[in-house]
Amino acid sequence: MTSSQNTPAPAAVRAVPASINSWSADYLEQEYARFRADPESLSADLRAFFQGFDLARAGAPAEASGAPAPGGGIDALRVAYRSLGHLAANISPLAAPPARPSELDAARAALGDGARTAIDALERAYCGSIGVEFMHCETRSERDWFVARFEGEQPTIDADERRRILDDLTRAEVFDRFLGKRYQGKKRFSLEGGESVIPLLRAISTRAGELGCEEIILGMAHRGRLSVLRNFLGKDLQRLFTEFEDSWAGGENEGGGDVKYHRGYSGDHVLPDGRRVHLSMLNNPSHLESVNPVVLGKCRAKQDRVGDTERRRIASLLIHGDAAIAGQGVVAECLVMSRLDGYAVGGTLHIVINNLVGFTTDPTDSRSTRYCTDIAKSISAPVLHVNADDPEAVVRAARIAAEYRHEFRRDVFIDLVCFRRHGHNEQDEPTYTQPRLYEAIRAHPGTAEVYRRRLIGQGVVTEADAGALADAVQNEMDAAQTAAKSTPMNPVPPPGGGVWEGFNGRYDFASPDTGVPAAALAEVCAALGRVPEGFAVHSKLKNLLASRAALAKGGRVAHADAELLAIGTLLLEGRPVRLSGQDSRRGTFTQRHAVLRDERTGERYTPLNHVRSGQARFDVWDSPLSEFGVMGFDYGYSRGSPGTLVLWEAQFGDFVNGAQVMIDQYLASSEVKWSRWAGLTLLLPHGYEGQGPEHSSARLERFLQLCADDNMEVVYPSTASQIFHLLRRQALRAFRKPLIVMTPKKYLRFESSDMADLTHGSFQHLIDDPAMDDRAAAGVRRVVYCSGKVYHELAEKRGASRDVAIVRVEQLYPFHTGAARAIDARYPRHAERVWAQEEPRNQGAFLYAFDEFRTRLGVELAYVGRPPSASPATGSEHLHKQQQERLLAAAVAPGQPSSVNGPAHAAAIAEVREPHAPAPQAAGKPAKSKR
């Protein structure tokens, strides 16, 4: 039987053996040429590697090959073992040790029996139950650190710790067997075959705690999750059995909740010396690896909140599957972020539960690399491959990983090579696809039994001791199951604890007064126009800074100004702000300039961090070119720091679809599925300006389709004052909901508000037509409802005419029925009601608005806009302008056909009834409400 670790590498990899250390062939050839010309020009370790390489190729004693004398041969042998020893390590619980690399055997033969002691020591260090890859690490200090750990004196594991390891394995074994017997047919994704992950996790937590770590935030998918929740985090058995009994009838709505192997939990690990490490596992959907950036973001938020600048007090730990870590792109996105200033968490501890098969797919079909962990080499992270059937080696690897993370604050990987006792789930038949593998698995007695026999043979425990331990776990589970049947227990701990103290989950349309005294606004304006003495501002920005400073004197405010004023005033009130996204410091449209660069030195300066001493901090980060990973990180950050206004910005709103998993599985549904709140704000540039299919739409319709249960807010503000009050509202309320903002592109610099509008009031859910007093309203023939940027174009097109009113729906969801009813009542019942939008009919807000107006207000909206389309927008700027002009003209022409069609686009603009709406009534007469 062959493990996934020992699957032969592709021919391209085998042709250049050193490529397994992530050194490229071109680099090796270049350095080898240097070695042949001048060995002393290379570092000692690389020089020794090539000495061993020559020695192995020659297959002869050093003197005969022209290689260095025996001392140099020993050095070369050491480097060969350090580089290639993992290929000969005994890391599979199902297979014999793999074939040895020829380079190792040739080097050993060249040195002869005189080096036997050194060879034996290197064999023990690198070819046992741990195969370590570290020679690709970037720094000499890292490589020396691993040499010391593996070639130096090894720490012993005493009898008490061995018994603790057996206790962990037994608890894991009995736990899954009990569930398998009592709940046959129910999915549980058992840990059977990978029980060693429990002592591994305990060893990591213990060693990290000894080194000063106070909290570990975990993420993992399904495999073994229930066992980890119980046997590591200490989840109450009564809660767990309530889930299996499906007997809790608490307050979740009919569409709420989640399956048991998706849920999270928190608990404390008490160290032998009495100290505690808090453990927190986040909820995770079936989208494998999607929780990774959420864990990292929450970890960073907690580090920032407690001032853990060295990032050692709070750590992140991710548990992967072998197929998922190799196949899911978000893994790479998180590794790219791992050492960036705005996203670093001081290194993540990665554990792979390597079942040797993903779902039903063999390793040869699921990846192109020898190891499932080879992606770790993209950031030069070390990897420890360890045989799960040697739990003491597993514990040793865990300690090494915890110590490495603490010392270097970089990612480290443990590849726990184990197996999966059943199929993908307990009802799956694995022999359909892996008959030979499962023949070996059926013959395997189990890791706990292998270790139990080992300790009995060593006299560490007796048969009676081992049996009593298993019986005690069985009895504990029996009692808990009985209790759960009689007294079900809420499986989900209620939200609102810890850093969420004082927040609640009840949505309310009421808004705090978000106006700011003129004096505070003046302070922020002054800071926006101020730079340190000697700082060379870019010549093209001097006028902008001066204009922002002058805002304190009054005048008109643009969207980009209002955003910075909102952030600055929050900072003065002690509320931190984090903004992250592609080009967010400057702004995609060169509108923000939140961070300035010295024209001569490149030094950065953030004006809003220098408004007043004692203020809160504004962190604004230019992110990697990632949506999934970065949005997930910022979502996690909002979970870990509810007092911070956390904003993620798309370069263009269209790119938000690269993070659709985060939107669907986390933002939209985390509260109803997991009873967990989050306040992430998405800033999504949206608007039709002739820039083509990928630079027009933030897919407003998709967000509206996800709206229910007051789960989030979707807004499309039309003025600077609205964005000012909106952002401040998001930070000041006593509840947290994701906020989805369609932000402008064309109107970023449009001065749409007065400074005085920022000193009082709050965000308005709808805005009535400012040109319509009561007298004018009585003569209106058409009421045009719209949202966002198109309002300004409609108002310009309408001109001085007063027979058309234009009403803005600024917050689409939750829809403020009361405000909408009050505004609509001002206009004659016989007046037409239409919805105008730029987006195609099957996109944008029309279908949502039509349903809301009809069911909540009894108002049936006609439609003015582009016809349905499979693409968000035309790629022709010329055609876009034609369509836009026809759309605007049709919208503000009451009583006239709104279809203004060209021959090639016969339905370019249409005003139609909903296809399945009731028969038309008298113009303007409301339909009966369904509510």
Strands 604-605 and 596-597: antiparallel
- For residue 423, name the pLDDT band (cuts at 50, 70, 90): confident
Q: Establish whether the linkage from the previous residue to 915 is cis, with ω within 30° of 0.
A: no
Which of the two residues, 699 and 154, has the higher pLDDT score?
699
CA gap 160, 307 in Å, rounded:
37
The whole-number pLDDT of residue 114 equals 73
CA gap 585, 605 in Å, rounded:
11
- For residue 14, name the pLDDT band (cuts at 50, 70, 90): very low
- From the list 842, 649, 651, the residue with the least C-alpha distance to 741 is 649
Residue 685's Cβ-count burial label (10 Å; 0-12, 13-18, 19+) is: buried
> What is the chain's alpha carbon radius of gyration, rounded to the nearest angstrom?
32
- For residue 532, name the pLDDT band (cuts at 50, 70, 90): very high
Q: Residues 51-70: pLDDT tens digits?
A: 655 654 444 333 333 333 34
Per-residue pLDDT averaged across 740-755, rounded? 94
CA gap 526, 550 in Å, rounded:
8
With a CB cutoff of 8 Å and minimum separation 6, the contacts of 560 are: 587, 591, 592, 748, 749
CA gap 766, 776 in Å, rounded:
19
**Terminal-to-terminal C-alpha distance of the chain:** 66
pLDDT of residue 542 exceeding 90 = yes
0.85 exceeded by pTM: yes
pLDDT of residue 135 exceeding 70 = yes
Residue 269 Cα distances to 168, 203, 232, 266, 398, angstroms: 14, 11, 8, 10, 16
The whole-number pLDDT of residue 603 equals 97
Q: Residues 58-113: pLDDT tens digits?
A: 443 333 333 333 445 788 889 999 999 999 999 999 988 888 888 888 877 777 77
Q: Residues 404-416: pLDDT tens digits?
A: 999 999 999 999 9
Per-residue pLDDT averaged across 778-788, rounded? 97
CA gap 218, 375 in Å, rounded:
20
Which of the two residues, 471 and 801, has the higher pLDDT score?
471
